[in-house]
Amino acid sequence: MPAPSTSDEPGQKAGLRREVRAKRLALPVALARPAARRAIRRLWSLPLMARAKSVAMYLPVGGELDCTPLAIQAWARGRKVFLPVMSGHRLRFAPFNPDAELRPNRFGILEPAAHSRQLRGARHLDVIVVPLVAFDQQGNRLGMGGGYYDRTLAFLKRRSCMRRPYLVSVAFEIQKLEVVPVEEWDVHLDVIVTEKATYCVT
């Protein structure tokens, strides 16, 4: 398999995003829902989830795999659940409870209406479930292009970082590519879980 490219032509990632998002949106709900449940069952089978006390996830948009069952199961298991909230050009994470008030941010994505003192930085979480458009088996992730997660998680690339959250993505198998173009600032995933397989990178 060829090595991922370290440079990206301006339209290359945009083209891949369009291609994979179209496949994802075309997936019938009757197939997407059970596939999501199978992927989340695989996620819970990982030792890192057994140890995790705090889990950050996302609410689905644009055909993303629905992580809502993950939150429901995490609450039942006594885990603390968090959702990302925009903070400048980065993300912080707000507590997410069944009765949480949600408000749309400037992109129309729902966020908990939390006070700043309730927000938690990424380095203080055990597991972060990161959304993606596409991935490859080497743990490279193609996001939406805003760079919010890469900026938020940049501290993981420093040698001085001793404590790290595990970075996990839950996706449909159709989102897998042979190679995802990468940049030097891209943060790699530890594990990707789909309805068919678990790809452990580290």
Please name the amino acid found at residue 188.
Answer: H
Give me the long-range contacts of 157-166 (CB less than 8 A, separation at least 24).
157/185, 157/187, 161/123, 163/123, 164/123, 165/56, 165/122, 165/123, 165/125, 165/126, 165/127, 165/128, 166/48, 166/52, 166/126, 166/127, 166/128, 166/190, 166/191
Please provide the distance, in angstroms rounded to a whole number, between the alpha carbons at the two ends of the chain: 18
Of the CA atoms within 13 Å of residue 44, those in its CB half-sphere come to: 15
pLDDT means over runs of 10, the chain (202 residues): 41 89 94 96 95 95 92 96 94 95 91 92 96 94 90 82 83 95 88 96 74
Q: Does domain 12-200 have CATH number 3.20.20.70?
A: no
pLDDT at position 6 is 39
> Looking at the whole model, is its pTM more than 0.85?
yes
Which residues, including other chains, have CB under 8 Å from residue 34's CB and lie 6 or more apart? Answer: 195
CB atoms within 10 A of CB 101: 10
Share of the chain above pLDDT 70, in %: 92
Distances in whole angstroms, Cα of residue 174 to Cα of each of 28, 34, 64, 151, 171: 13, 15, 12, 27, 8
Rounded-to-integer distance, Cα 177 and Cα 141, Å: 10
pLDDT at position 159 is 57
Distances in whole angstroms, Cα of residue 33 to Cα of each of 16, 132, 150: 24, 17, 28
pLDDT at position 162 is 57
Of the CA atoms within 13 Å of residue 3, those in its CB half-sphere come to: 4
pLDDT at position 191 is 96
Are 39 and 31 spatial neighbours (Cβ–Cβ below 8 Å)? no
pLDDT at position 2 is 34
Taking only the tens place, the pLDDT of each residue in 21-74 is 999 999 999 999 999 999 999 999 999 999 999 999 999 988 999 999 999 999
Rounded-to-integer distance, Cα 111 and Cα 58, Å: 9
